Amino acid sequence: MSVAVQMSHPQKNTTSWTVSTSPELVRFSLGQQEILKIFSQPIANKMQGMCRFEKGFERLLPLFRGLIGLGKPASLSLIYDFNRAQVFFTFSQAEINEVENFFSKVIDMLKKEVRFKQILEKVIENNRRHLAEQALLQSSLHSVNWD
């Protein structure tokens, strides 16, 4: 499985999150399954938008909040809706580049976390299989009568 950030914008062909004068949609996907969608649009001298975690990935919202808290741009204001796994945000258009870079870093860290959890699940599964095989082998050895 691969993790990717995909951009849906008719005028640009890039994989980084960018902000322009037209509404945008950024998708953060795991294989074919979308994990996070980010919508944004300009309103007067501000940008506003929403991040929404898709069903099954709501557990990433606290991590997202923690990563945001590590040092967000000054004008970036966020409102969290944990019941719906959404985050509403606004920021000054003067900080577009700073916010763009910030969200790119947060998404990169989320990608790394998702990859880590995938690998950890495989390691745990392999370890459980190994322990089950060892237990079966031990029980087989102990049930044999040695003369």
Domain total in the chain: 1
Q: What is the mean pLDDT of residues 73-99?
A: 92
Determine the structural domain holding residue 7 and report its residue range: 3-143
Look up the CATH number of the domain holding residue 16: 3.30.1460
Over its C-alpha atoms, the chain yields an Rg (Å, rounded) of: 22
pLDDT-derived band at 145, boundaries 50, 70, 90: low
pLDDT-derived band at 31, boundaries 50, 70, 90: confident
Percent of the chain with pLDDT over 90: 34
pLDDT at 30 over 90: no
In b/e form, how buried is each residue of 30-66, taking b as 16+ CB within 10 angstroms? Answer: beeebbbbbebebeeeebebbbbbbeebeebbeebee
| Residue 110: predicted pLDDT | 86
pLDDT tens-digit series, residues 46-76? 999 999 988 888 888 999 999 998 889 989 9
| Residue 127: predicted pLDDT | 95
Query: Rounded distance, CA 102 to CA 82, Å?
Result: 22
Task: Work out the mean pLDDT of the chain and round it to a whole number.
Answer: 80
Comparing C-alpha atoms, which of 65, 85, 84 is closest to residue 76? 65
